[in-house]
Amino acid sequence: MFDRGLPPERLVPFARELDAADGVSDLWVVEDLGWTGAISSAATALAMTSRLRVGIGITPAPLRNPALLAMELGNLARLHPGRLAAGIGHGVPAWMRQAGAAVSSPLSLLEETITSVQGLLRGETVTMRGRHVRLDGVSLVHPPAEPPPLLAGVVGPRSLALSGRLAQGTIIPEGLGPRQLPSILGHIDTPDGHELVAFVHLCLGDDAREVMRSAVEDQAGFLGLPPDELVTASGSPAEAAAQVRELWKAGVSTVVVRPLGADPLSHVRGLLAAL
């Protein structure tokens, strides 16, 4: 993952190096209020690479009209076939209120957004009179031949169940791990083929705990968990690699590491050498 705290112009060399690296299949970009927009970041990463899948992790449904979101995703999917994965979520409630985009039922909005965007990407003409989404005979002129998978970035039980029912995959945030995965998978409750993506902080070195302290404490507050219970890929390269393997073993399909520190790619290189 290209961390939101990095200057946007560093995305280009970051993407190029990962594209040339063995053992890396994905590059994920983020959309958090005040940082950067995920569509422009994904477009840049796709244009700068030739083989990586680029994931959007995640765009908040309250900030994105589903017709426009489908237009953007469909365009990227046609320009870069088979190389896009799109995460959609509720958005951080405080940020959605700050942006004047909060809704009365985030769950309804997410369901209506995923349903309508999927239909548009399949080339359907979509009419929806939902609780939050209103579309009247909308269709894409250039729908992609291969619609990109939509993944729901969610945490709560009802949202996980919705993801299992509607989305092609689920994204779980940094900090969750093997202890929580049985419950998460139980709520998703879907047959094989549903991709489970786990984000995890990555930091190598003796000072990893100190470097990660602020990020881990913030995430612990978001998840409502003690900081020392959060799962990270940290310590020595061998220790970080073992933590990644534990996530795979617990049922995660795709582990997306979020490297922290002044030289994030050095942590990625160290991890890859140990895997």
Helix (H) or strand (E) holding 179: none
Tens digit of each residue's pLDDT (9 = 90 or more) over 56-67: 999 999 999 999
Which residues of the chain fall short of a pLDDT of 50?
Answer: none
DSSP state of 175: B
Pair of tokens at residue 179: 């202890």
Helix/strand/coil for 120: helix
What is the CATH number assigned to the segment(s) 1-169? 3.20.20.30
Say how far apart CA 189 and CA 177 lie, in whole Å: 17
Domain segments of the chain as ranges: 1-169, 173-275
Q: So what's the pLDDT on residue 192?
A: 82
Q: So what's the pLDDT on residue 191?
A: 77
Say how far apart CA 3 and CA 220 lie, in whole Å: 18
Tens digit of each residue's pLDDT (9 = 90 or more) over 156-214: 999 999 999 999 999 999 999 999 999 999 999 987 899 999 999 999 999 999 999 99
pTM: 0.97
Say if residues 53 and 81 touch (Cβ distance below 8 Å). no
Indicate the length of the chain as a whole number.
275
Q: So what's the pLDDT on residue 190?
A: 86
